[in-house]
Amino acid sequence: MTEFRLLGRTGLEVSPICLGAMMFGWWGEHDPKESARIIGRALDAGVNFVDTADIYSQGQSEEHVGQALAASGRRDEIVLATKFFGRMGEGPNRGGGSRRWIVRAVDDSLRRLRTDWIDLYQIHRPDPGTDIEETLGALTDLVRQGKIRYLGSSTFPAHRMVEAQWAAARRGGERFVCEQPPYSLLVRGIEADVLPVAQQYGMGVITWSPLAGGWLTGRYRRDAVPESRRSALLPERYDLKLAGNQAKLDAVERLAALAQEAGLTLIELALAFTLRHPGVTSTIVGPRTMEHLESQLTCVDVRLGDDVMDRIDEIVPPGTTLNPADRGYQPPELTTAALRRRA
């Protein structure tokens, strides 16, 4: 893997594959030594971008990454990204985008990651209860203190991305230099607005769930739909009684046939598709095992021709998300009835 891409207008060069660490810790791989082996293999393959979050396994993912980098002495080789926002423990003020929490959360992440600085610090989801100027102000202070280098957002709707850019300009502070949205062959909604906005503002884009939560691994087929912990926890994304999931299964069958015709695995087709969009910088792979990682690294050598891309567009039209539950974020205006009804 010799290709590197600029992260927006930062001048920072990152690999097209970003190693996601969500499955390190009790959510997935319990053994930090095995996590370190996977991290080492990714770095040896040319990956220089690692992404995690404090909420993953309630801090264990960051701990696994920190142990691996400290033991290997390769911290300076990588662009290290993590995220804050999710609730970290019981009681009030243990999450969100407030200054109070950000100042606490960054120190906790630095300790778990065993590093003096975080290259990219991202807010994991929009926080409608906190003024974006407060969040950006706190993050700007952390840049000036040397604790973080750049800031980014994750799963922000396009209008909130624009609002954040305007707020940064008003304050004269640091801005979000990248966005981390969901994007896959089955979840293409960001093509309509998020990707164009990111391109307009010179933001990098790091896409998550390029395999659509396992749907594009080849395991989900008409004659064999596996049971998993994810399907039990997120029935809205896996229950085949729902029309959106039936549509996904139909699309997977056609995409698998297309991959076979093109001489590719479905995984290679799926990952290469996300990297073909000019607005995408890197795509996050989140392996739980070494086998998973090896099956994903080969995508960087795949170049999808226009004929294959046209066939993909016929199966899942541009800008289409087959199941709205896969968008990763539902604004409270849709999920809270009181916000839609006059008292």
Q: Could you report the per-residue pLDDT of 70-93, keeping only the tens digit for each?
A: 999 999 999 999 999 999 989 899
**pLDDT band, very low/low/confident/very high, at 223 (cuts 50, 70, 90):** confident
| pLDDT surpassing 70 at residue 1 | no
Least confident of 20-34, 95-109, 171-185, 326-340: 326-340
* pTM for the predicted model, two decimal places: 0.95
Strands (DSSP E) contained in 99-238 are 118-123, 148-154, 176-180, 204-207
- Residues 153-196 pLDDT 10s: 999 999 999 999 999 999 999 999 999 999 999 999 999 999 99
**pLDDT band, very low/low/confident/very high, at 226 (cuts 50, 70, 90):** confident
Nearest to 24 by CA among 46, 14, 39: 39
Q: What is the mean pLDDT of the chain?
A: 95
Residues 104-143, buried b or exposed e (16+ Cβ, 10 A)?
ebbeebbebbbbebbbbbbbbbbbeebebbbbbbbbbbbb
Class of domain 5-339: alpha beta
The catalytic residues are 56
- Residues 202-215 pLDDT 10s: 999 999 999 999 99
| pLDDT surpassing 80 at residue 124 | yes
Q: SS3 for 60?
A: helix
**pLDDT band, very low/low/confident/very high, at 2 (cuts 50, 70, 90):** low
Between CA 139 and CA 106 the distance in angstroms is 10
Task: Work out the angle between the directed axes of helices 290-297 and 32-44 (0-180°, nearest 10).
Answer: 20
Between CA 238 and CA 249 the distance in angstroms is 10
Between CA 187 and CA 213 the distance in angstroms is 11
